[in-house]
Amino acid sequence: INVIKIPWGRPRMRLLLATGNESYFQPWWKLGGSLKAKLIAEGVASDEFRSFPSGHTGCAACAMLIGLLPTLRKGKEKRTRLLFILGCLWAAAVAISRIWMGAHFLTDVTAATAITLGIAWLGIWLCYFNGKFFRLVWGFVSEPTANNKNSET
């Protein structure tokens, strides 16, 4: 999320509300512009330009996905369903609170959730459904280094 957030530079909702200047609004699809540099030079904190996407909501979506871990064991379906529902409620509460506080727009929290779910889906597909990729990564990670080979002999 921070890889996207820092260069994007979208102004937070609270900056628009505090100044009352609607011209500071920047659509989510536009990357940072000259407004950020101008306002930082005028004394606005750089943290006010880290709205898109929401890091807190992305982390809450990760917590939601942790609720799916019990599915790896058979017979834990009820517990998994409950954990997943609690995780969804937590992610929704975090997203709503970030909007309520003026730190993010609805598009910021929606994009963070979508990015988190997309990365999770990609990771599951690469490591679980694509055995060739997983064997390649596992072979690279578990391969002893040349120094370790020499020290073993």
CA dist 119 → 2, 14, 42 (Å): 14, 29, 37
pLDDT value at position 77?
66
Q: What share of the chain is helix, strand, coil (3-state, %, to 5)?
A: 75, 0, 25
pLDDT value at position 15?
85
pLDDT tens figures, 7-44: 888 888 888 888 888 878 888 887 777 777 778 878 88
Please name the residue that has the structure tokens 């904190």.
Answer: 45
pLDDT tens figures, 77-112: 666 778 888 888 999 999 999 999 988 999 999 999
